[in-house]
Chain A
Amino acid sequence: RYVRQLQRLQLLFSPTSADARGARQFVEEAALDFARRHPDVVLYVRPRAGLAPVLVAEYLNGTVREELIASKTSEEIVQLATKLAGQSGLDIIRIRKPFHTDNPSIQGQWHPLTNKPSALTVQGPRLQPQ
């Protein structure tokens, strides 16, 4: 059971500016292939004039990531989109441990008294086995 963490991809670009050429080529050629390969991601294409072309990705835990796609070829945009599709919405900061378990010990956690004989069988000056 695998749920993709990417909710939607919004592609905002303007139909006339020169740096949105890669975005326009991507929309014409590769957007359908991308949408068919990732059927659980919703792709919105919104033409918008005056601002730089941007690819906005929203994830299931609410994080929004914006990536500039100005002056990029359509293959680069495809690679970027697949990378975003594979990510989850967690922040990209330093993680301390590369593993995470909910049940770290099964046979009982080691403490200094494991594998030692108990005090009842030790013959001391005062302790005697009953």
Chain B
Amino acid sequence: VAKTSLTSPPWPEVKLPDPVEEAKYHAEVVQKVNEMIATGQYGRLFAVVHFASKQWKITSEDLIMMDNVLEAECGDRIRMEKVLLVGADDFTLIGRPLLGKDLVRVEATVVEKTESWPKINMRFWKRHGYQRKKIIVNPQTVLRINTIEIFPCLS
């Protein structure tokens, strides 16, 4: 059969490696990463955390503000679950979609609970004499991320 421009797909054909070799390679990589974590060769860690219906990329000692009220008092330590991704300088651990709780530990403290600036909600129709003005003030909480820790229990 003659070869036309549509016989083969336009993307380059990729040959997948052997599954047995692949499994060996994976095990080796996992062991190396475990050793690195156990010896503590990572510098700063960053994590992607799902919190208050939003995903945040956080490191240690940084501030996060959310537009709701948490049930914790000022100065309480909070442990954040729902960690999607953890990374360091040389390696990253990606979860599908979450990482295990015995792998990562993210701790935060509630720093302050304030209200937002007064937002004005105004409705106006011209030539109808209709205007309504409402001032909306949302309660906010500010968290400071204390630490992100990982433990060498991969598999």
What are the residues of chain B within 8 A of A103 when measuring CB–CB? 44, 59, 62
The interface size of chain B toward A, counting residues with CB under 8 Å, comes to 29
Check if B64 sits within 8 Å of A98, measured CB to CB: yes
Check if B88 sits within 8 Å of A106, measured CB to CB: yes
How far in angstroms is the closest Cβ of chain B from A98?
Answer: 4
A-contact 0/1 string along B27-66, CB 8 Å cutoff: 0000000000000000111100000000010110111111
Interface of B is mostly: strand
Residues of A83-129 contacting chain B, CB below 8 A: 83, 85-88, 92-95, 98-103, 106-107
A-B pair count, CB < 8 Å, reads 62
What are the residues of chain B within 8 A of A5 when measuring CB–CB? 112
Check if A106 sits within 8 Å of B113, measured CB to CB: no
Chain B interface (Cβ < 8 Å from any Cβ of A): 43-46, 56, 58-59, 61-67, 74-75, 87-89, 109, 111-118, 142
- Selected A-B contacts with CB under 8 Å, 29 pairs: A2-B111, A83-B114, A85-B74, A86-B112, A86-B113, A87-B115, A88-B112, A92-B114, A92-B117, A92-B118, A93-B117, A94-B117, A98-B65, A99-B56, A99-B62, A99-B64, A99-B65, A100-B62, A100-B63, A101-B58, A101-B59, A103-B44, A103-B59, A103-B62, A106-B44, A106-B45, A106-B46, A106-B87, A106-B88
